[in-house]
């Protein structure tokens, strides 16, 4: 018989999750820990395995509106255990801090979500609507077999959500600083220029791939994509690698490769940027007796959840608990919100992310408690202000 746990306190669940070394794509039992807690709260749970990745969807109720909590139990590698002050998967709570990989990003927030549901149900009873969880094991990885794949499957099954809150660690310094109401898009490109190898003393017998690659990179980086748009910082193209792999000094290489990333705002789409790159590649091919190719992958489109009743509700609840009114921002990297925004209005709010992905990742236990209170208040206000 399964033991009934006190789920109103988020700390034990956060510790249980951290003690599962769920380094992408391994689950290591983390979803099982969460599934047991949600089943205790009356959620119907379903697993959605895709490839090497396992995912969990849980729902309590069938009516509208449906409030969706979303997040991930996978974590990045901890590095060398010896470099940590506390064991990375020990989940030690000491001097008011919870230590461990995933404490901030984002097992602490998932535990706060579960505790908030427990407190909300104990106080308010059955909501006039539904609560759901979508938790993936692939956010820190390629993000192909996680939230993106599960959302497609759920849509095919007729599942619908009205609003979503993702528990990413959005606060840079203090709990209550920031709500993410949108994200920039991301495009990765690999440029490959293939020429003809030859001796440097006889360039007429070779076709050097390096000059056309540098010329192409110069044209791409010279363009000012934009100067920023409302709610977004300027888009930027960053060259991340230029590789020839030539160990000699007297040989013209056969090929050269470069990689770059574009983080773009809503002034652009992935398709439009991809077409621009292909056009520049076509121009480079005109004057080169070789081959210039671009392998382009758009990993997420830019999006913005407009300020309105939902974002105001979130700001009000954070301010009521912390005394700080969080700013609505769109900076930083990508998250699974880029997939969810195709299905429902989405925002992100979680713990302070100052130590995420670092050695000695840790968060104040008091912040996990405060986040639980914020999430509880959000559920209470949501089912009052967003009737079916």
288 token code pair: 């080169």
Number of domains in the chain: 2
Distance CA 197, CA 56 (A): 52
Q: Same domain, yes or no, for 176 and 324? A: yes
Q: Same domain, yes or no, for 118 and 266? A: no
Point out the catalytic residue in the list 27, 35, 54, 74: 74
Task: Tell me which of 239, 269, 300 is where a domain ends.
Answer: 300
Length of the chain in residues, anyone?
Answer: 388
- Domain at 130, CATH number: 3.40.630.10
pLDDT of residue 2: 52
Q: Same domain, yes or no, for 320 and 233? A: no
pLDDT of residue 388: 66
* Full pLDDT tens readout for the chain, 388 residues: 355 789 999 999 999 999 999 999 999 999 999 999 999 999 999 999 999 999 999 999 999 999 999 999 999 999 999 999 999 999 999 999 999 999 999 999 999 999 999 999 999 999 999 999 999 999 999 999 999 999 999 999 999 999 999 999 999 999 999 999 999 999 999 999 999 999 999 999 999 999 999 999 999 999 999 999 999 999 999 999 999 999 999 999 999 999 999 999 999 999 999 999 999 999 999 989 999 999 999 999 999 999 999 999 999 999 999 999 999 999 888 899 999 999 999 999 999 999 999 999 999 999 999 999 999 999 999 999 987 6
- Domain at 293, CATH number: 3.30.70.360
Q: Same domain, yes or no, for 224 and 341? A: no
* DSSP one-letter string for 300-333: E--EE--SSHHHHHHHHHHHHHHS--PEEE--SS
Distance CA 192, CA 294 (A): 6
- Of 332, 288, 365, 357, residue with least CA distance to 94: 365
Residue span of the structural domain in which 73 resides? 10-183+302-385
User: Does residue 4 fall inside a structural domain?
Assistant: no
Task: Tell me which of 300, 329, 352 is where a domain ends.
Answer: 300
- The set of residues, in sequence order, having a beta carbon less than 8 Å from that of 19 and lying 6+ positions away, is 89, 90, 91, 100
- Of 130, 147, 155, 153, residue with least CA distance to 60: 130
- Of 124, 170, 198, residue with least CA distance to 314: 170
The answer to whether 74 is a known catalytic residue is yes
User: Does residue 2 fall inside a structural domain?
Assistant: no
Strands 93-94, 163-166: pairing is unpaired
Q: Same domain, yes or no, for 155 and 17? A: yes
- The residue with tokens 């959005």 is 170
Point out the catalytic residue in the list 118, 138, 139, 361: 139
User: Does residue 100 fall inside a structural domain?
Assistant: yes
172 token code pair: 């840079």
Residues 30 and 94 sit within 8 Å (Cβ to Cβ): no
Q: Same domain, yes or no, for 231 and 278? A: yes
User: Does residue 346 fall inside a structural domain?
Assistant: yes
Task: Tell me which of 250, 270, 300 is where a domain ends.
Answer: 300
Report DSSP state, residue 281: H
Q: Same domain, yes or no, for 49 and 98? A: yes
pLDDT of residue 332: 85
User: Does residue 3 fall inside a structural domain?
Assistant: no
* DSSP one-letter string for 361-377: -EEEHHHHHHHHHHHHH
The answer to whether 95 is a known catalytic residue is no
Q: Same domain, yes or no, for 277 and 353? A: no
User: Does residue 48 fall inside a structural domain?
Assistant: yes
76 token code pair: 């990045």
Residues 24 and 134 sit within 8 Å (Cβ to Cβ): no
Distance CA 306, CA 300 (A): 18
Residues 176 and 324 sit within 8 Å (Cβ to Cβ): yes
Distance CA 100, CA 286 (A): 54
Q: Is 209 helix (H, G, I), strand (E, B) or coil?
A: coil
Residues 140 and 72 sit within 8 Å (Cβ to Cβ): yes
């Amino acid at each position: 018989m399964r033991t009934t746990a006190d789920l109103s306190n988020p700390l034990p669940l956060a510790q249980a999750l951290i003690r599962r070394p769920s380094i992408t794509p391994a689950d290591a039992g983390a979803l099982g820990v969460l599934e047991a807690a949600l089943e205790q709260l009356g959620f119907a749970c379903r697993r959605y395995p895709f490839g090497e990745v396992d995912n969990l969807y849980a729902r309590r109720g069938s009516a509208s509106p449906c409030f969706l909590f979303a997040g991930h139990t996978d974590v990045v590698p901890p590095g060398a255990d010896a470099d940590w002050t506390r064991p990375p998967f020990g989940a030690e709570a000491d001097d008011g801090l919870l230590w461990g990989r995933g404490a901030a990003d984002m097992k602490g927030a998932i535990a706060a979500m579960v505790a908030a549901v427990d407190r909300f149900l104990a106080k308010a009873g059955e909501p006039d609507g539904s609560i759901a969880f979508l938790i993936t094991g692939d956010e820190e990885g390629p993000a192909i077999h996680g939230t993106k794949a599960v959302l497609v499957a759920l849509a095919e099954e007729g599942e619908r959500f009205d609003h979503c809150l993702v528990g990413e660690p959005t606060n840079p310094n203090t709990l209550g600083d920031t709500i993410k109401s949108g994200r920039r898009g991301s495009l990765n490109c690999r440029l490959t220029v293939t020429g003809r190898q030859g001796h440097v003393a006889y360039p007429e017998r070779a076709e050097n791939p390096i000059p056309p690659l540098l010329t192409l990179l110069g044209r791409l980086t010279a363009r000012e994509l934009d100067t920023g748009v409302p709610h977004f910082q300027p888009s930027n193209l960053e060259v991340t690698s230029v590789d020839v792999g030539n160990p000699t000094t007297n040989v013209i290489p056969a090929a050269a490769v470069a990689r770059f990333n574009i983080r773009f705002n809503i002034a652009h789409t992935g398709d439009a940027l991809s077409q621009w790159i292909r056009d520049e590649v076509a121009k480079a091919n005109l004057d080169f007796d070789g081959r210039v190719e671009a392998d382009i992958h758009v990993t997420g489109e830019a999006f913005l959840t407009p300020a309105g009743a939902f974002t105001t509700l979130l700001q009000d609840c954070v301010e009521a608990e912390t005394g700080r009114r969080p700013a609505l921002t769109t900076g930083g990297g990508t998250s699974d919100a880029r997939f969810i925004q195709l299905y429902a209005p989405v925002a992100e709010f979680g713990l302070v992310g100052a130590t995420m992905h670092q050695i000695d990742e840790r968060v104040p236990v008091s912040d996990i408690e405060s986040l639980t209170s914020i999430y509880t208040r959000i559920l209470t206000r949501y089912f009052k202000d967003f009737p079916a």
